[in-house]
Amino acid sequence: MIGIGIIGLGTVGIGAYKILREHRSLIYQRTGVDLDVVKIADVDIERDRGIPLEKGLLTQNALEVINDDRVDIVVELMGGVHTAFDYIAQALKKKKWVVTANKALLAERGDEIFRLVEEEGCEIGFEASVCGGIPVIRAIRDGLVGNRIDYILGILNGTCNYILTRMTEEGISFDAILKDAQRLGFAESDPTLDIEGIDAAHKLCILIRLAFHYPLQMKDIVTEGISKIESIDIEFAKEFGYTIKLLGVGKEENGLIDARVVPAMIPVRHPMSTVNGVFNAVYVVGDKVGPTLYYGRGAGSDPTGSAVVSDIVDMACRLIAKSPRTALSLHKGNRRMRTDEESSFPYYMRFTVEDRPGVLSRISGILAEYRISISSVIQKGREEVGHVPLVIVTHEAIEKDLKRAKEEISKLPFVKGESVHIRIEEGSS
């Protein structure tokens, strides 16, 4: 029997606990491991969670979970960074193995945690930290272990994907859909972490460390959210054959690592463009296997609980054998992050301009000065107010040059309002 202690009985804790109860015998039949939840800590031990909780199981004191001799695996599902870190550190020092769903903790203090895991000869499982129910950590770590991973493309945040999907399908503004999503419970009342791309960056940080074994830090990830995306750009994207998604991109090429979470256009023919609503997906390209795709629910009680339980079961088998997995080793080697000057992509640009002769040639002249080559142009018909959208798709351009050109063009007297640029991600390594 393996004793399980859970810290945090919120949405994910309840999901994991329910699965461990409901499927205890199923898991035993499949693996020969009997998992017994012996202690659960949560600040709120009164609330009716709609699940049977035996007397004595709940405590408000997380240390009672960590120090309980019956607990072999401590499952941290409380969230937050520093207190969660302290509890995990204490559990590891007591030689308890740990499962966590805490992406912010792993992205921000992962180095310290992995060092401790190694020093204490323990193991840490974090399947639930990236994309809820999708077993992408296991896929990269085990399923693709024979590959050098070259490219990761992720739709890593369900809130953003839900908002962008509805903007695409219904043509409604970002603000209106965000309000509706909050009303329906699909977005947090403070949605900053989600819509500004930080939640997705936490997940990308974990994926890149795992896939490239590179000691990536959050500051290394170029992070932009979706709050500035306008319906008009989604409509133009369709005309050019693209869909706008918040993409987490990780790439390793010739010793240079790219890490970005940005709203980007992806071809409608790419499988990632069909990932809609609250669903998440990760597209991983290995040098031997080629492209692979993992899809599913990235949040929610049962899907995330399912990922937590998969870690517990996987770990329990090695715990019985007293044979922990080798800790994740990170090393830079000769590699470094790609700089802005070294990054070039095709871009979509939109300017609001007066509709008169000479405008396009001035703009294309400035683009040429910055060595930016135009691939196509769309200008919509005249409007009463006299300004029209002018949309340009470029060939590959260096981002710094593109931003400078955009700034210069935006100052021209016939250009009105804010100009827009959105990266185009063709979606292959």
Catalytic residues: 203
CB of 329 to ligand HSE, least distance (A): 26
CB 68 within 8 Å of CB 3: yes
Among 102, 159, 243, 310, the residue binding ligand HSE under the rule CB under 6 A is 159
CB of 200 to ligand HSE, least distance (A): 8
Residues 167-196 that bind ligand HSE (CB under 6 A): 194
For residues 148 and 271, what is the distance between their CA atoms, to the nearest angstrom? 22
The DSSP call for residue 49 is: -
Q: In the complex with ligand HSE, which residue's Cβ is closer, 90 or 227?
A: 227
Q: In the complex with ligand HSE, which residue's Cβ is closer, 198 or 237?
A: 198
Q: In the complex with ligand HSE, which residue's Cβ is closer, 84 or 299?
A: 299
Pick the piece of the chain touching ligand HSE (CB under 6 A) from 157-165, 207-215, 252-260, 401-409: 157-165
Pick the piece of the chain touching ligand HSE (CB under 6 A) from 147-155, 156-164, 174-182, 329-337: 156-164
User: Three-class SS string for 217-262?
Assistant: CHHHCEECCCCCCCHHHHHHHHHCCEEEEEEEEEEEECCEEEEEEE
For residues 127 and 134, what is the distance between their CA atoms, to the nearest angstrom? 8
Contacts of 331 (CB under 8 A, 6+ apart): 213, 214, 215
Count residues binding ligand HSE (CB under 6 A): 7
For residues 320 and 165, what is the distance between their CA atoms, to the nearest angstrom? 45
Residues 287-346 that bind ligand HSE (CB under 6 A): 298-299
Among 100, 102, 157, 310, the residue binding ligand HSE under the rule CB under 6 A is 157
Q: In the complex with ligand HSE, which residue's Cβ is closer, 42 or 199?
A: 199
CB of 109 to ligand HSE, least distance (A): 17
Q: In the complex with ligand HSE, which residue's Cβ is closer, 133 or 286?
A: 133
For residues 301 and 119, what is the distance between their CA atoms, to the nearest angstrom? 33
Query: Considering the rule CB under 6 A, would residue 372 count as an interface residue with ligand HSE?
Result: no
Rg (CA), the chain: 24
CB 179 within 8 Å of CB 172: no
Chain-centre distance of CA 361, in angstroms? 41
Pick the closest to residue 158 from 304, 306, 281 (CA basis). 281
For residues 247 and 250, what is the distance between their CA atoms, to the nearest angstrom? 10
Among 123, 127, 150, 199, the residue binding ligand HSE under the rule CB under 6 A is 199
| b/e 366-392 (16+ beta carbons within 10 angstroms → b) | bbeebebebeeeeeeeeeeeebbbbbb
- Site pattern 98..137 for ligand HSE (x: CB under 6 A): ----------------------------------------
Pick the closest to residue 169 from 242, 248, 231 (CA basis). 231
CB of 203 to ligand HSE, least distance (A): 7
The DSSP call for residue 139 is: I
Q: In the complex with ligand HSE, which residue's Cβ is closer, 157 or 243?
A: 157
Pick the piece of the chain touching ligand HSE (CB under 6 A) from 155-163, 312-320, 409-417, 419-427: 155-163
Pick the closest to residue 36 from 80, 82, 68, 81 (CA basis). 68
CB of 296 to ligand HSE, least distance (A): 12
DSSP 3-state assignment of 185?
Answer: coil
Residues 19-48 that bind ligand HSE (CB under 6 A): none
Q: In the complex with ligand HSE, which residue's Cβ is closer, 42 or 194?
A: 194
Pick the piece of the chain touching ligand HSE (CB under 6 A) from 154-162, 244-252, 260-268, 358-366: 154-162
DSSP H or E run through 97: strand 97-100
Among 5, 158, 197, 286, the residue binding ligand HSE under the rule CB under 6 A is 158
CB of 131 to ligand HSE, least distance (A): 8
Q: In the complex with ligand HSE, which residue's Cβ is closer, 157 or 168?
A: 157
CB of 53 to ligand HSE, least distance (A): 25
DSSP 3-state assignment of 263?
Answer: strand
Neighbouring-strand partners of residue 281: 155, 295
CB of 184 to ligand HSE, least distance (A): 13
Residues at the site binding ligand HSE, with contacts judged by CB under 6 A: 157-159, 194, 199, 298-299
